Amino acid sequence: MHLFDLNLKSTRAYQDESYQMFEERNELGALLTCFGAPMVCYGTPLALSTVTDQPPMAPGDKGKKGKKESWSRTWKIGGRNKMQVVLGPITGNAAKAAKAVMDTDPKEFHFGEVPSRAHTVRAK
């Protein structure tokens, strides 16, 4: 078994229906748990942040900075037999929305339970 603390960053530019330009920056944090040969990996979400800016469109235009919406949580190896992943509380200005979705999962789980958790995604 291998554990990876993965951080992905992406930026994309797009236009809405009214031809306004936007730049969206995302950061995603996940705990990647990989098993066996061939390697099969599962990701448990640890953090997400999104900022959508409106870039300058004309000389003298300063554009508009968007508000950062984010949530995060910590993790550690712990539990009774030190064979569990223990997730910290969800914090940040978007924590309420994240908790509404993810608070149904237990905060402690054994490594063998990773594939069956509701908010764990198999990585391809």
Contacts of 93 by beta carbon, 8 Å cutoff, 6+ apart: 68, 69, 70, 71
Say how many C-beta atoms besides its own lie within 10 A of residue 50's C-beta.
15
- Assess contact for 48 and 26: CB atoms under 8 A: yes
pLDDT tens-digit series, residues 22-75: 999 999 999 998 888 788 998 989 999 999 999 888 888 888 999 999 999 999
Average pLDDT over the chain reads 88
Please give the structure tokens belonging to residue 32. Answer: 């990647």
What pLDDT, on a 0 to 100 scale, did the predictor assign at position 62? 87
Query: In percent, how much of the chain has pLDDT > 70?
Result: 99
What pLDDT, on a 0 to 100 scale, did the predictor assign at position 45? 92
Average pLDDT over residues 82-102: 90
- Assess contact for 119 and 44: CB atoms under 8 A: yes
**Closest by CA position to 115, among listed 21, 22, 36:** 36
